[in-house]
Structure 1
Amino acid sequence: MSNFVMEIKKNSIYLVLLLPFLLAVMALNGFGFFFKSGSAGAGILIVLWLWFRQLKARKDVWMIFVAFAFSIGGDWFMSNRNGDMDMFISGIALFFVAHIGYLGYALLNGKVKWTFTAIVLAGYLVFFTCKLLPSINHGVLMFAALVYLIISCLSMGAAVGIDAKPAEKWSYVFGIFLVLFSDTIIAFSEFAGYTELNFLILPTYYLAHISVTFSLIARKISYNPVIE
């Protein structure tokens, strides 16, 4: 088999990303929670398929399963809260665990870039103090939002510190950035009353899952160019 044909065969695996993409499009057009959870759910299935034979030895891949599964759970609480503060806090808690998954994956493949993390965290602490804190009058919510902000910045710093080939690394970094970006818009909307950017929340959230899944496909290809 020529190198050209092998390259086409190898890269054709990325076509599986059409599944989470189509589910995300359905979700954005008003379909139910099954489709809203589709980008993360399809990501789990794709990663499971690609890494099934190596799962026992791949603690990092399990971290992505945790991240995607708890993202689905957090999204369910957020989608069904109907103004219930406890549901909102529960959603934040589940998304916090999702970030532990993202952070764990990055740390198992690299290390935290502390200077970068400190800069990002400092900026978000200013944002929290000036924009969010004055609008939060619920102690538990304030604590939950602050802890979530910290873990989000750590996830971002760890993503930048991944030791991997460019396609794998920067697609993962982009995915975590999109999670952080989506969460920032939610914070503006929920606590600062700024809703003009709300239309970007779900597209960036779904694209984050797709980008992270892309990264794990790229990682699999780098280990085994012929997908079994």
Structure 2
Amino acid sequence: MLSKFRPVLIGLLVLQVASAILALAYGDFLFKSGSAGLGAIILLLLLSGRSFRTPDLWMVIGAFLFSIVGDYFLSHRNGDTLWFVYGIFFFFLAHIGYLAYSLFHGQVAWKTTLVVCAAYLIFFFTSLYGGIGDPLLMWAALAYLLVSCLSLGAAVGIKKAGWPKLGYTFGIALILFSDTLIALAEFMQYNRWDFLILPTYYLAHIAITWALWKRFTAEEPA
């Protein structure tokens, strides 16, 4: 029963928020990994509060862990293009996890996906493409763009409406928004909105964690 874990879950969620704030203040990688790492711990506690194991939740735990690895490569690349590609690869795997969770609970909303993909492909080839000099980085960025749009479309396609769906979809949308700002900074040297990159990224993890907690709370027997 989740009730016995509630104080611990609340404490971990507070720590998740605090870790994000400290990451913004100090930039230490330990704090930077806290939003995803503590999110994964919260989800593990949600799993332990069930009488069965749910593979969909493991997909999100995996996504959080892959995000930490991806963030490590991006935070320590020091201008190395290959490390940038490694970072994109692990964030790609994270989106596969988010996508898998959504597909456990619905299907891809293809109209939304096609509209978002069309908009981002136009953005990619008209604005970003010219600023990517390395072919490997170009293909990695394009593949990541496509899986990000598909991940958002799948979140929109989750069947059961309510706060768990809204929170989860909001979290995926925030990741896409944060990545868009990164692309503007990296490939177009447009840095006006850089201050939003990390806050939206950390908030995405918090929103996804909260959404799944709400889902499990709603499913608890009275």
Q: Same fold (TM over 0.5)?
A: yes
Alignment of 1:119-198 (within 5 A): 119-198=115-194
Q: CA deviation at 1:134?
A: 1.0
Q: CA deviation at 1:73?
A: 0.3
CA distance in 2, matches of 1:197, 1:67: 26
Tell me, yes or no, if structure 1 residue 28 matches structure 2 residue 24.
yes
After superposition, what is the alpha-carbon deviation per residue over 1:46-92, rounded to whole angstroms, capped at 9, x for unaligned? 11011125486311001001110000000000000000011000000
CA distance in 2, matches of 1:62, 1:56: 12
State the match for 2:53 in structure 1.
57
Identity level (%): 49
SS in 2 for 1:57: coil
- Aligned partner (choices 104, 111, 115) of residue 111 of structure 2: 115
- Aligned partner (choices 60, 67, 72) of residue 68 of structure 2: 72
Letter in 2 for 1:113: A
Q: After the TM superposition, which of the residue ranges 69-78 and 54-63 deviates more from structure 2?
A: 54-63
- Taking structure 1 as reference, are residues 207 and 105 closer, same or farther at Cα in structure 2, changes over 3 Å only? same
SS in 2 for 1:83: coil
State the match for 1:40 in structure 2.
36
- The TM-score normalised by the length of structure 1 is 0.91
CA distance in 2, matches of 1:202, 1:52: 30
Cα RMSD, aligned residues only: 2.0
Gaps of 5+ in 1: 1-6
- Taking structure 1 as reference, are residues 111 and 136 closer, same or farther at Cα in structure 2, changes over 3 Å only? same
Letter in 2 for 1:180: L
Gaps of 5+ in 2: none
CA distance in 2, matches of 1:126, 1:191: 15
Matched residue pairs, number? 219
1:112, 1:161 within 8 Å by CA — same for their partners in 2?
A: yes
- Aligned partner (choices 188, 194, 201) of residue 197 of structure 2: 201
SS in 1 for 2:74: helix
1:60, 1:105 within 8 Å by CA — same for their partners in 2?
A: yes
- The TM-score normalised by the length of structure 2 is 0.93
Q: CA deviation at 1:16?
A: 4.0
SS in 2 for 1:29: helix
CA distance in 1, matches of 2:137, 2:20: 29
Q: After the TM superposition, which of the residue ranges 90-99 and 158-167 deviates more from structure 2?
A: 158-167
